[in-house]
Structure 1
Amino acid sequence: MTEGNFVDYVKVHLSSGNGGKGSVHLHREKYVAKGGPDGGDGGRGGHVIVRGNKNLWTLIHYKFKKHFKAGHGEHGSKNRSTGADGTDVYLEVPLGTVIRNTETNQVLFEITEDQEERIILEGGKGGRGNWHFKSPTNQTPRYAQPGIPGQESQITLELKVLADVGLVGFPNAGKSTLLSVMTSAKPKIADYEFTTLKPNLGIVEYRDFQSFVMADIPGIIEGAAEGKGLGHYFLRHIERNATLLFLIPADSNDISQEYQILLNELKKYNPELLDKRRFVAISKSDMLDEELIQEMSAELDKDFPDTPYLFISSVAQMGLQELKDKLWQLLNE
């Protein structure tokens, strides 16, 4: 999937259907001169319904079509016939989509299960026909209820990527390279910062035909929680990942400091992110010799004793199987 096709934020305008009018009709047939009122009820207007679809990965189908209108209910007719209900409109969304009111930014609900349906706008109720209003003192009412008009609203669809493992790191840390080596994904790779502008997903094949999903998320910079760099456009994707894999290059000036900056940005954005399982991978380790790896390991044991880490190299295929084992173990704890 190319970057231009990954759409994770759209605004759409919705309208539910109007209810049909109740009928004003007096029954007439041969030999029945005054059959009384028999006007039927109007049909309800169509609902606007959001439905989860596990086969969708993006909101690209709402990139160019942004207005959705449900059908109106039909009017009632004679012989107490109720008008047909208006046609419902379904908005198919990928799992992990959050629905907000655009004006208030309030979260209405989120879709996390396949075929889960939520009515976002109800259609107007149909009006009652005149036969409902007959009484001993008013045996031929010549009035009925009009239908209730539908509703209008503008909503924001916001996709948070559902993945088992999320890659977290500074720009140019080697996240896209690792994803391309461990999965069949083909992310854009280059030697400049912010090569990745949209999340990329890949399926990591594990032993015995098992697999898990890994997400490459655009790089974090200091101040991302306040909106610097790509800010909130990518931090929300991390909320859906079960395990966070921090990727820090071996040639970093201070690995521990870089790790703390990344943790601080996640904490400022959402403190609950620190409750997720974490693992640190020291990338580009093919440039280190065995003695240097031992020295760095001794320092890392002191700096973050509670977080497991591993030296890897995507290019040299170093430590990747062990990394898969560690991640699988974390995911199944």
Structure 2
Amino acid sequence: MTNDVKIINLRNYLYGNFIDNLRLFTRGGSGGMGYPRLGGEGGKGGDVWVVAHKKMTLKQLKDKYPQKRFVAGEGANSRVNALKGSKGKDCEIPVPVGISVTDENGKIIGELNKEKDRILVAEGGLGGKFFTNFLPLKGQKRIIHLDLKLIADVGLVGFPNAGKSSLLSQISHAKPAIADYAFTTLKPELGKIMYKDFKQILVADLPGLIEGAHVNKGMGHKFLKHIERTTQLLFVVDVSGFQLSSRTQYRTAFETIILLTKELELYNEELQAKPALLAVNKMDLPDAQNKFHQLMNQLQNPKDFLHLFEKNMIPERIMEFEHIIPISAITGEGIDELKNCIRKSLNQENDAYHKKQLLNLQISNTSHREPLFQNALASSRMDTI
């Protein structure tokens, strides 16, 4: 069996069991009939809500509701013994945490980032009453899209076969599929780095990126969209460079970093603002030290080497790494240092966030106090007149 056939079979087996987007039909319940003779009001139709649950997946949702239709209950009619009809039963759609909900036009309705978050997606119709001539209104009808974006502290960024899956298995308890050909990771894998003081950091190994991913080549947007919800990026590159196949161009480690940066920029330039670390992998290979020194020289003076690239391959902004760590995911070299650097970088990020929040609070308090002070001063002047 050729590598290409292996890749296709593995893609169908693994990625077929992972779903990160769904299209659903939703409709709020119709209102109940009013009672014209006694002025009774029909009950409001039920609403349709999307609700986040930690142990839910989109695959489970699709399996449980294969028709992907969600309709809320109708409001009760007004009756002689119950002039105010009761509200129709709400319909709840259980989804995983990390879902973005959009309408048919791509407009974001809302996001669910934690357990029990809920979003109203289709409102029930009003019951019949005087100003509707006692006739009920139909519920809102809406097509919605559920888009899963993984929430993680660290997102691994790298071309296929850079060793991301091997690295994830080294630094966490995750057990991703690992093989010696490209595209071994066809669905996101999550792992937790566990520290001795019980600190935990969530790491996401995402489907392999290739040149042209920003226009949806390869795993394209299935990969890139997940990076948006990570706090920081960990670039993983092969110290010997990368070549996808015999028909594609060989790229050095430095070229790999430049191209990865360009793909992020073309998809969403805001991704480049995230703090980033670089793990230079496969340091156990022959001549790895010389290649690593060469890479460090290029990273310290990147502009001296950009003339080697075509203009459309050069990013507007060169990625700056907070830490560069040589590692071997096979032998374990540099793994402990990498884990410490990840934690240190995240702590700095959290400290910066809290300082910014405190500064905003101080500015807010000052702006509220100044008018009070000025009013008191004006009042005291009035007293002296």
Give the TM-score normalised by the residue count of structure 2.
0.75
* Aligned-partner Cα distance in 1 for 2:336–2:286: 19
* Aligned-partner Cα distance in 2 for 1:161–1:290: 34
* Aligned-partner Cα distance in 1 for 2:211–2:259: 7
CA shift for structure 1 position 45: 0.4
Check conservation: 1:41, 1:80, Cα contact below 8 A: no
1:312 counterpart = 2:327: yes
Q: Give CA deviations for 1:148-179 in whole Å, capped at 9, x if unaligned.
A: 11121111100011011001001111111111
CA shift for structure 1 position 105: 2.1
Q: Could you say which residue in structure 2 is the equivalent of 1:11?
A: 23
Identity %: 40
Report the AA paired with residue 316 of structure 1.
T
Check conservation: 1:96, 1:161, Cα contact below 8 A: yes
1:61 counterpart = 2:73: no
1:189 counterpart = 2:178: yes
Check conservation: 2:213, 2:221, Cα contact below 8 A: yes
Q: Residue 305 and residue 110 in structure 1: after superposition, are their counterparts in 2 closer, same or farther (change >3 A)? A: closer
CA shift for structure 1 position 39: 4.8
Secondary structure, counterpart of 1:332 in structure 2: helix
Check conservation: 2:26, 2:121, Cα contact below 8 A: no
1:157 counterpart = 2:146: yes
Check conservation: 2:125, 2:136, Cα contact below 8 A: yes
Give the TM-score normalised by the residue count of structure 1.
0.86
Q: Could you say which residue in structure 2 is the equivalent of 1:139?
A: none
Unmatched runs of 5 consecutive residues or more in structure 2: 1-13, 242-250, 303-317, 349-385
Q: Could you say which residue in structure 2 is the equivalent of 1:198?
A: 187
Q: Residue 288 and residue 242 in structure 1: after superposition, are their counterparts in 2 closer, same or farther (change >3 A)? A: farther
Check conservation: 2:169, 2:175, Cα contact below 8 A: yes
| Higher RCO structure (Cα 8 Å, ≥6 apart) | 1
Q: CA RMSD in A?
A: 2.1
1:225 counterpart = 2:214: yes
Q: Could you say which residue in structure 2 is the equivalent of 1:273?
A: 271
Which has the higher mean CA deviation after the structures are superposed, 116-125 or 75-84? 75-84
Q: Could you say which residue in structure 1 is the equivalent of 2:342?
A: 327
CA shift for structure 1 position 113: 3.0
Secondary structure, counterpart of 1:286 in structure 2: coil
Check conservation: 2:41, 2:83, Cα contact below 8 A: yes
Which has the higher mean CA deviation after the structures are superposed, 73-82 or 15-24? 73-82
Matching of residues 154-303 of structure 1 within 5 Å: 154-252=143-241, 253-288=251-286, 292=290, 293-294=292-293, 296-303=295-302
Check conservation: 1:39, 1:78, Cα contact below 8 A: no
Q: Give CA deviations for 1:290-330 in whole Å, capped at 9, x if unaligned.
A: 85355554444333794221100111011111101000111
* Aligned-partner Cα distance in 2 for 1:314–1:291: 16
Q: Give CA deviations for 1:57-79 in whole Å, capped at 9, x if unaligned.
A: x3112323111111000100114
Check conservation: 2:253, 2:295, Cα contact below 8 A: no
Unmatched runs of 5 consecutive residues or more in structure 1: 26-37, 134-142
Q: Could you say which residue in structure 1 is the equivalent of 2:113?
A: 112
Q: Could you say which residue in structure 2 is the equivalent of 1:136?
A: none
Check conservation: 2:161, 2:181, Cα contact below 8 A: yes
Q: Could you say which residue in structure 2 is the equivalent of 1:71?
A: 73
Secondary structure, counterpart of 1:318 in structure 2: coil
The total of aligned residue pairs comes to: 306
1:40 counterpart = 2:40: yes
Matching of residues 83-122 of structure 1 within 5 Å: 83-102=85-104, 104-122=105-123
Check conservation: 1:53, 1:114, Cα contact below 8 A: yes
Partner of residue 134 from structure 2, selected from 145, 152, 176: 145
